[in-house]
């Protein structure tokens, strides 16, 4: 009787493990030095990149062939400290692992998500750029290659705006049992 119970429990665990989803999380904020996470955009500095390197941050994902879906999230707090209305363009860009400049539109890089925000003098706003990674999208296909670059750009048209990057992360859901070939 013990053997039958053990066999049934083993079969149940094997069936459950085939449906297990694993999370792969990358806190991109940890790759950006603290002094680069906040600052001021003004007439002298009209744009800033996160990370500061135009090639962005390289991410390599082992077992990414088992990618189910995921999300990318960027959050920044903005405050117009000038005397004029300001427009800010925010974008998250992705490119292949060998791309050396995510912001030139060459080598396969593209804007995965973008948003424009208008702030009046003295106005403060927290902006979140969410990106869902779903099968059949260019983002999913690029990430599924296993080696990609990611970066963000914040550009200003206006007077002065203070910014603080508060979140930057990639969360991927992988079903590792998809790696086992079917006979």
Residue 6 lies in a domain: no
What band does 4 get if pLDDT is binned at 50, 70 and 90? very low
Separation CA 154–CA 132 (nearest Å)? 20
Show the domain range for 115: 21-179
Question: How would you classify residue 158: left for phi > 0, otherwise alpha for psi between -120 and 50, otherwise beta?
Answer: left
Measured torsion, CA atoms of residues 49, 45, 40, 95, in degrees rounded to the nearest 10: -10
For the chain, how many structural domains are there in total? 1
Mean pLDDT calculated for residue range 115-142: 95
Residue 135 lies in a domain: yes
**H helix or E strand, kind and range, residue 69:** strand 67-80
Residue 16 lies in a domain: no
Q: What is the DSSP letter of 3?
A: H
60 is written with which tokens?
A: 């390599």
Does the pLDDT value for residue 88 go beyond 80?
yes
Residue 5 lies in a domain: no
Residue 7 lies in a domain: no
Residue 109 lies in a domain: yes
Percent of all residues in the chain with a pLDDT value above 90, rounded to a whole number: 66
Residue 52 Cα distances to 47, 58, 111, 147, angstroms: 11, 13, 17, 20
Reported as a single tens digit per residue, the pLDDT across 16-74 is: 455 677 788 889 888 888 989 999 999 888 999 999 999 999 999 887 888 899 999 99
The domain that holds 61 is classified in CATH as 2.60.120
Q: Which residue has the higher pLDDT, 135 or 14?
A: 135
Residue 144 lies in a domain: yes
């Amino acid at each position: 009787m013990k053997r039958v119970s053990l066999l049934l429990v083993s079969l149940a665990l094997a069936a459950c493990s085939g449906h297990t989803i694993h999370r792969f999380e990358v806190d991109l904020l940890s790759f950006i030095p603290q002094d680069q996470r906040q600052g001021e955009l003004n007439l002298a500095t009209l744009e800033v990149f996160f990370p500061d390197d135009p090639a962005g941050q390289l991410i390599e994902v082992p077992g990414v062939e088992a990618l189910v879906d995921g999300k990318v999230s960027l959050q920044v707090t903005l405050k117009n400290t000038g005397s004029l209305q300001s427009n800010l363009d925010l974008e998250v860009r992705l490119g292949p692992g060998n791309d050396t400049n995510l912001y030139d539109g060459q080598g396969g890089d593209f804007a995965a998500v973008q948003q424009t925000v208008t702030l009046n003098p003295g106005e403060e706003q927290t902006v979140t750029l969410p990106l869902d990674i779903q099968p059949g999208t260019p983002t999913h296909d690029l990430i599924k290659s296993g080696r990609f670059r990611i970066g963000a750009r914040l550009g200003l048209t206006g007077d002065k705006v203070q910014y603080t990057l508060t979140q930057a992360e990639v969360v991927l859901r992988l079903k590792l049992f998809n790696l086992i070939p079917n006979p």
